[in-house]
Amino acid sequence: MNDTVCILTHSLYDRWGEDLQIGGVQTYTAQLAELLATRGSHRVVVVQPSAIPFAREHGSGIVVQGIPGGRWSLWKHYWQNYRNQTALTIFVNFSFAIWGGNEPTIAIQHGIAHDGFYSPYGGIARAVHKGVAACLYVRRMRRIKATLDRTDRIICVDLNFPNWVRAHFPRRRWEDKLVYVPNFGIPLPEEQITRKLAAAGGPRKVLIARRFAPERGFPMIGKIISEIAPEYPEHRFLFAGSGELSEELRRHIQPHANCEIARLSRAALHEIYRDCSVSIIPTLWSEGTSLSCIESMCNGLAVVATNVGGLGNVILGGFNGELVSPVEREIKAGIRRVLDNGDYARTLAYNGWLTAKSCFSLEAWQERVMRVVNSLGRDEAVHT
């Protein structure tokens, strides 16, 4: 066994190894690699699929390797070069963890991906013969169970997944294997939050910072904003992101002068968070503890979020945000409540910042992750 910590992920850089990608999983992977390189005494290798082979440095002590091909090329490379040979292997994608060997392994569970009527799994179950649907369900359950059994620790970003596991596999105690470690952000200093909220009267900027994908509530949120925007001409509605539904979103909001779409770098996005006062998280399915939600709270935005996945672990409705059902009328009503009452919005924003500062800071996440690493009983693998 060598001194390498191997992190397997589906994406950190683009497929040519040139640009760091924007997204929750990418941010998580980068921070995880930096944490282990900083606190550990071993080299960290991040392995991802790519279009061409590449190897590049990512900060001090971190190398990112691009393996041409897809999932199975990544699997082959891992088995040939890292399986049973590392001090620690971390699977950023939970489904990859079924590949794990005898080395210490950790999997990251980012949320249940099939938890909704609109999800692809739900669509398959509705469309095919009941017997086929039952076979698909059994096959899926067996694979999840095999992955759980093969992995030493599973870091769960929300409580939705641990409770799902307990309900579906009740004959086994899972407490030692499933560890709740919510996602993180970097809260603004209190003096900046105080100044921001004191100056929050008048026209407001509403941010929807999401990947433009069906599970993230698109194009539904575009339709909602196209109906709400004319009611609030003094407010500005900003969609920050990109995705397969960009053109459909553009058609919804194009007629409105107070709506726009911007594709921003992560640094520019942080500045936008500081400039906005309301954030909408319109998820329909497949959500853990949303980085977009936590970053909004860290930056003093009043959050309107749906009660999907782990969002209910972050938002207490009426205290630190609006928590609504994932249907159009409820999302509209939540947005209107925040836009119509400035004092209420400021209270939600301040309580959200307090929550993020106390529970979801980067420092708190780092300590929780390192406790999981060291709980493997292999302190010689990665030292704090």
Cα separation values, 86 from 44, 172, 239, 366, Å: 10, 29, 42, 22
| pLDDT at residue number 24 | 81
**148 Cβ contact partners less than 8 Å away, ≥ 6 residues apart:** 154, 165, 169, 174, 177
Q: Pick the closest to residue 285 from 72, 114, 54 (CA basis).
A: 114
Q: Pick the closest to residue 287 from 259, 313, 254, 251 (CA basis).
A: 313
CATH node for 190-359? 3.40.50.2000
Residue 360: both structure tokens together = 């979801």
| Superfamily holding 4-183+362-374 | Glycogen Phosphorylase B; (3.40.50.2000)
Instruction: Give pLDDT tens digits along the chain (384 positions).
Output: 578 999 999 999 999 999 888 778 888 999 999 999 998 767 899 999 999 999 999 988 899 999 999 999 999 999 999 999 999 999 999 999 999 999 999 999 999 988 877 776 665 555 555 566 677 778 888 999 999 999 999 999 999 999 999 999 998 899 889 999 999 999 999 999 999 999 877 789 999 999 899 999 999 999 999 999 999 999 999 999 888 999 999 999 999 999 999 977 777 888 899 999 999 999 999 999 999 999 999 999 999 999 999 999 999 999 999 999 999 999 999 999 999 999 999 999 999 999 999 999 999 999 999 999 999 864 444 433
Domain range annotation of the chain: 4-183+362-374, 190-359
Which residues pair with residue 65 across a beta bridge? 47, 55
Q: Is there a shared CATH topology between the 4-183+362-374 domain and the 190-359 domain? A: yes
In this structure, are residues 182 and 212 in contact, taking their beta carbons and an 8 Å threshold?
no
- Helices 328-340 and 342-359 meet at what angle, rounded to 10? 100
